[in-house]
Structure 1
Amino acid sequence: MDGSDDSKNPSHRPKVGHRKSRNGCHKCKSRRVKCDETRPICNNCNRLGLSCLWPQPTKPTPSRIVTRGGSREALPRPGASDRGNGGRAPSPDSNQDSAAAGNSAGIQKRFGIQQPDYLDEPLFGSSVIDSANDAEMVLPESRSRRMLEHRLMQHYIFNMSKPFPVSAGPNWSDLFMKKVPELALRYENLLYTLLANAANHLFRSEPQNMELLAARRSYLVAAVREQRKMVDKITSTEAADSFNVEWADALCLASLMLVVHSWAALQDRPLEPYSPPLEWLQMGRGAGVLIWMSIDAMMKSGKRKDGETSSMMTVANSYPRFGADESYFDADMRRNFTGVLTQKLPSGDDWDDDETRETYEKALSYVGSIQHAIDHGEPVYALYRRIQCFALIIPRRFSEFLEERRPRALVIMAHFFATVGQLPCVWWIGDGEGGREPTAKREIRAISKVLPSEWHAQLVWPLDMLGLR
């Protein structure tokens, strides 16, 4: 089931006699196959579920859009860098190193706290950012750009400041309606994330608007780059005395909104041939590390500089309290789905490996906890939080099993999407707006097409829950 081993499949062997792709991705060049240069993920890498990285341009370009001394600069030309290196863009290897530099180990050392092993993960190694270097994505300063940004901010406030249909309370509503826009005026990472999400939401109702398409992409690139810079500050020794709670709030809130953006992207991704949603899971794991560490530091810090408590504590203290209560990993939660683990079918799994068993047990228990919450009538906002946090807290190895396309991991993923499909949809979860099939149904249908026939009996429940049989 491992789609990365091309040598075992004659149809995937490197072809000879093709025209060389001068601007192809690194993976296609190393495999000596023609790259179709589709960005951010070429069709070859998308088909095989590989990480798709691109050469970086050698010409430096602007990197900020905020006002500097009365003049505004263009959005970053994706792929450019203003981190030094003599004005040269980093090599692919140095780009990887930069992503790895902002890792959980550095934060752990910085704050002197211990994190759970399953959160040992690089923070922002997204191939979406590493591979973005299209010149046409630059949005130069203009009146139309100012009007676009005004429209995006207004759209967020009036249409997106309630992430769930029902609020968890007045503090939750104030957080996203009032405090997020206020913090966005002081922290570029949060500003760019807000604008990227607003452009993404608007583009769904205006799919022919190329200005929104370019804005969605460019602001996302800018958001993650600024996010990485803030992570680098956390892990640097110079930051020892500069940590403040408001700064951490901006970092965590942007992380949550980036996860929303990556989830929403599932609605548009091609599913033939099928590849697991690894980009979303990767973004979620990185955000989970960052949020967990920052909240721990906030609890030690106590107050913001102005005396106000952390905004992120509103999220941390809302039900369900992730981390404080890990009952979602209890064995009882997976009781109704135990057949997924006990079936002795070809799977590529080593059940003598305790970590493999624990990975599957935790992932399946978490899915079962969502269904348990649905069956017991939990508030809608709590159900959405459970759905959203799946990518933040599941074990890292589960994503590795998905990347290898192990049947058991695919079945668990189908069960997860079956719980998603039972909720009243919000825009980022994929509500089927515009005649499109909802994301949950699309993903389950795609999994059923690639799952080995001997495993199809394990898809009966997901298919029946969403009326796909």
Structure 2
Amino acid sequence: MRPQPTRHAGPRLYHKKSRMGCARCKARRVKVAKPSCGGCSRHQVECVYPPSPASSLQSLPRGAASRPPQVQPAETHAGAGVGDSSSSIDLWITHHDSSSSPVWGENSPPSGHRDDSNRSQSVASNCSSSHTGDSSSAVHEANDYLSSLTDPEVLEIPESRERRMWELRLMHNYLSNQAQQFAKAKATAFHGQQPTPGVALTDEDFIWGRDMPRLAFENDSILYNMLASSALEMWTRTTDPHEKEQLRLLQQKYIAMALRQQRLAVGNLSGDNADMVCMAALTILLNSFALVQTLDLTPWQPPVDWLRMGKGAGAVLTIATGYIGATGNDRITRFIKSGPKMDPPSVFAPENRTHLTWLLENDRGSTTNVGDFEFENNKTALDIYNKILSYIGSVQKAIADKEPIYFVCRRLIGFTMYCPELYHGLLVQRRPRAMITLAHFFKLWIPYDDLWMIGKTGENQVRGIFETLPPEWKHKVAPIFDEYNLEP
């Protein structure tokens, strides 16, 4: 019998990027076919698809978006992509994929829209030689952040007396109820003194309550973010259905306008606007944090949009701070120095997680590939879970040390910036350990349910995760209900 000729494997061809393909195939970087991909069928594993755009944050503005400018390192040749953006999950707006939208072509925008691909310069084109050392991961995350920002063609709210009255009302509410929002929190008795000008913080360091409203005179993104967060805060309190609907529409419109301004600013990043870009990124980070409470929990979906948005905002902060001098007079430096100290060695210290490692144990004998065998040939997953547990432990330590509530809230908000990006994929795949660790992070939110930006988010997310977990893993989350005297 003539021996079969050796078949030489050709180079692996990368597929056309899509946001809605099978997560397993994306990780292996192979072509994805819907509704059942051949790669998963051949390996006899289940296809894992991310949640559809309809299940993303319901409160976020929707519409077509032009192709965003891309952040590239200075060394990258023109036309070379930075990282794989196929896993990007848009937070603020649902981008129409060219493969699924008959209106928006791959290379041309729809009629009536300008082509903005060259309108905003890339960050790389503005980088000086001192910034060429930025890590590729930060650049990748900044790209995803840019692609999450809304279409620059978003129209302004028409000028009218109604708009002026609403903006006056929203600004009054912001100054009255949000600038010093922790002063009357029920958990204050268990924490250190809240910052007030001239007491816990100097006037110069009291940035959020005093400087931020002033910055709104100079930066439209900050102004619109303040109005959006004020509308959301009022939405959480009002009982009038008509007003509730109006406030949600205002929140959506103002956040879209804020993101348009931020996108243009980041696309033209320089030493002149870096401080403002950083402060605007903080307001966007706060808005995305507050929007988690609006997520639909039937069925529960992992809040990967929020996680990715925070990761991207952190990347923008990393890049933008590189443009700021060492004088320490800029606002973002003063904000960071105002605390808490969140350096990675202390946040991810192994001793922070020693009391939490039981959450990863497969003590009920799960025999699935996410049970006993999850760590067999993949130590990366274990490293990721350990980082998450260490972060949770660091927040628990801060609470035990009676840090001020605003310190604790900054730690909760900062989770998205420190959270490894691969953790997002583990959540999309519904890995039990990923969901369990996330539940124990969200349980930290439960005592602060009277804060407008948190509400019932902690309890609701814990319940949603508990109902989604396989039976043999539920006992890892069940004790949370007893700990906080909640009905299972």
Fold match by TM threshold 0.5: yes
* 2:14 match: none
Question: Offset of 1:359 from its aligned partner?
Answer: 1.4
* 1:208 match: 242
Larger helix share, 1 or 2: 1
2:392 aligned partner, one-letter code: V
Secondary structure of 1:283's aligned partner: helix
Secondary structure of 1:428's aligned partner: coil
Secondary structure of 2:438's aligned partner: helix
Separation in 2, partners of 1:139, 1:220: 12
* 1:64 match: none
Deviates more, 1:167-176 or 1:416-425: 167-176
Separation in 2, partners of 1:369, 1:464: 22
In the TM superposition, what whole-angstrom CA distance separates every residue of 1:269-310 from its partner, at most 9, and x where no partner exists? 210011011121121111111223333432x3526xxxxx11
Kindly indicate whether the alpha-carbon contact (under 8 Å) linking 1:288 and 1:392 is maintained by their aligned counterparts in 2. Answer: yes
The one of 440, 455, 458 aligned to 1:415: 440
2:408 equivalent to 1:383: yes
The one of 162, 177, 180 aligned to 1:162: 180
The one of 257, 262, 265 aligned to 1:222: 257
Secondary structure of 1:446's aligned partner: helix
* 2:342 match: 322
Separation in 2, partners of 1:384, 1:120: 27
Question: Offset of 1:314 from its aligned partner?
Answer: 2.1
The one of 323, 344, 354 aligned to 1:335: 354
Kindly indicate whether the alpha-carbon contact (under 8 Å) linking 1:190 and 1:251 is maintained by their aligned counterparts in 2. Answer: no
Separation in 1, partners of 2:61, 2:335: 33
Kindly indicate whether the alpha-carbon contact (under 8 Å) linking 1:370 and 1:383 is maintained by their aligned counterparts in 2. Answer: yes
2:223 equivalent to 1:191: yes
2:206 equivalent to 1:174: yes
Question: Offset of 1:375 from its aligned partner?
Answer: 2.4
Distance 1:212 1:39, change over 3 A: closer
Identity across aligned pairs (percent)?
A: 25
Secondary structure of 1:121's aligned partner: helix
Please give the TM-score of this superposition, normalised by the length of structure 1: 0.70
Distance 1:129 1:138, change over 3 A: same
2:294 equivalent to 1:268: yes
Secondary structure of 2:296's aligned partner: coil
* 1:426 match: 451
* 2:268 match: 233
Separation in 1, partners of 2:464, 2:217: 41
1:192 aligned partner, one-letter code: Y
1:360 aligned partner, one-letter code: Y
Secondary structure of 1:313's aligned partner: helix
Question: Offset of 1:466 from its aligned partner?
Answer: 2.5
2:460 aligned partner, one-letter code: R
* 1:54-453 matched pairs, under 5 angstroms: 54-55=95-96, 88-89=112-113, 111-115=131-135, 120-122=140-142, 125=145, 139-165=157-183, 166-167=194-195, 169-171=201-203, 174-206=206-238, 207-209=241-243, 210-234=245-269, 239=270, 243-244=271-272, 247-298=273-324, 300-302=325-327, 309-323=329-343, 326-343=345-362, 345=366, 346=368, 348=370, 349-423=374-448, 425-430=450-455, 438-453=456-471
Deviates more, 1:167-176 or 1:265-274: 167-176
Kindly indicate whether the alpha-carbon contact (under 8 Å) linking 2:149 and 2:259 is maintained by their aligned counterparts in 1. Answer: yes
Kindly indicate whether the alpha-carbon contact (under 8 Å) linking 1:153 and 1:198 is maintained by their aligned counterparts in 2. Answer: yes
Deviates more, 1:120-129 or 1:328-337: 120-129
Question: Offset of 1:439 from its aligned partner?
Answer: 1.1
Kindly indicate whether the alpha-carbon contact (under 8 Å) linking 2:145 and 2:313 is maintained by their aligned counterparts in 1. Answer: no
User: Higher Cα Rg: structure 1 or 2?
Assistant: 2
Question: Offset of 1:388 from its aligned partner?
Answer: 1.4
Distance 1:398 1:284, change over 3 A: same
Structure 1: runs of 5+ lacking an equivalent: 7-11, 15-26, 43-48, 57-78, 304-308, 431-437
The one of 478, 484, 488 aligned to 1:460: 478
Structure 2: runs of 5+ lacking an equivalent: 1-19, 24-33, 37-48, 63-87, 98-102, 184-193
Q: CA RMSD in A?
A: 4.2
Kindly indicate whether the alpha-carbon contact (under 8 Å) linking 1:39 and 1:132 is maintained by their aligned counterparts in 2. Answer: no
Distance 1:125 1:294, change over 3 A: closer
Distance 1:336 1:90, change over 3 A: farther
Separation in 1, partners of 2:152, 2:282: 22
Question: Offset of 1:376 from its aligned partner?
Answer: 3.0
Kindly indicate whether the alpha-carbon contact (under 8 Å) linking 1:183 and 1:190 is maintained by their aligned counterparts in 2. Answer: yes
1:321 aligned partner, one-letter code: K
1:275 aligned partner, one-letter code: Q
Separation in 2, partners of 1:109, 1:447: 47
Kindly indicate whether the alpha-carbon contact (under 8 Å) linking 2:221 and 2:259 is maintained by their aligned counterparts in 1. Answer: yes
Kindly indicate whether the alpha-carbon contact (under 8 Å) linking 1:286 and 1:392 is maintained by their aligned counterparts in 2. Answer: yes
2:242 aligned partner, one-letter code: Q
Distance 1:179 1:366, change over 3 A: same
Kindly indicate whether the alpha-carbon contact (under 8 Å) linking 1:124 and 1:286 is maintained by their aligned counterparts in 2. Answer: yes
Distance 1:365 1:90, change over 3 A: farther
Question: Offset of 1:102 from its aligned partner?
Answer: 6.3
Distance 1:199 1:331, change over 3 A: same
In the TM superposition, what whole-angstrom CA distance separates every residue of 1:104-144 from its partner, at most 9, and x where no partner exists? x99797723445958851355488755999x9x86311111
Secondary structure of 1:170's aligned partner: coil
2:480 aligned partner, one-letter code: P
Q: How many aligned positions are there?
A: 387
